[in-house]
Amino acid sequence: MKLDGHLTCDRCGASAHDAIDERRGEVLAECCFCGAMEWCKAPKRLASEPVTQRDVNEFRFKFGRFTGMTLAEADTQPNGRKYLEYMAMTNDKLRERIAEYLKQGSQRVSQDACGEAAGTQ
Ligand SMILES: [Zn+2]
């Protein structure tokens, strides 16, 4: 993957890099000219891979208060919806899939006590 123009090499000043590894929103960039490597924050266009339905359904939190839960499970916890909304605003890695989940979830009846009690079933 090319990272041209996103970085400037500390060693030789070139701005042509390849991403040779990627994790947690960071990429390991290798300078095409001198081979220097450094971890850096992934450019937006790399971090934002298309979110699939499977990403939304099968994602489980690996950190935080809802560790091990899916987005839907976290959403049913006290303040879960607020947490999802907060993560959607602050976490680059999770932003898109949570946004997708929330978009879909808005079709459903919210259990959030703060939300409007839509529907009478
Ligand atoms: Zn270099």
In the predicted model, what is the mean pLDDT of the chain?
Answer: 82
What's the pLDDT at 106? 63
Ligand 1 center–CA 45 separation, angstroms:
22
∠ Cα 69 70 76 (to 5°): 80
Query: Is the model's pLDDT at 20 over the cut of 80?
Result: yes
Q: Token pair for residue 120?
A: 């009478």
Ligand 1 center–CA 14 separation, angstroms:
5
Ligand 1 center–CA 118 separation, angstroms:
58
Ligand 1 center–CA 39 separation, angstroms:
14
Ligand 1 center–CA 13 separation, angstroms:
6
pTM (2 d.p.)? 0.49
Ligand 1 center–CA 17 separation, angstroms:
8
Of 19, 20, 14, nearest to 45 by C-alpha is: 19
Answer yes or no: do 53 and 99 share one domain: yes
Summarised one tens digit per residue, pLDDT across range 75-111 is: 999 999 999 999 999 988 888 899 999 988 765 544 4
Answer yes or no: do 9 and 23 share one domain: yes
Ligand 1 center–CA 42 separation, angstroms:
18
In-domain check, residue 118: no
Give 118's pLDDT tier (boundaries 50, 70, 90).
very low
Answer yes or no: do 33 and 70 share one domain: no
Question: E strands of 3-108, at which residues?
Answer: 17-23, 26-31, 37-41
Number of domains in the chain: 2
Least reliable range by pLDDT among 17-21, 27-31, 35-39, 117-121: 117-121
Q: Token pair for residue 13?
A: 């000043």
Answer yes or no: do 34 and 60 share one domain: no
* Structural domain range at position 66: 49-105
Ligand 1 center–CA 41 separation, angstroms:
18
What's the pLDDT at 34? 96
Is beta strand 37-41 parallel, antiparallel or unpaired with respect to 26-31?
antiparallel
- Residue with token string 């970085």: 7
- Rounding to the nearest 10 degrees, give the CA dihedral for residues 90, 65, 22, 6: 10
Ligand 1 center–CA 33 separation, angstroms:
5
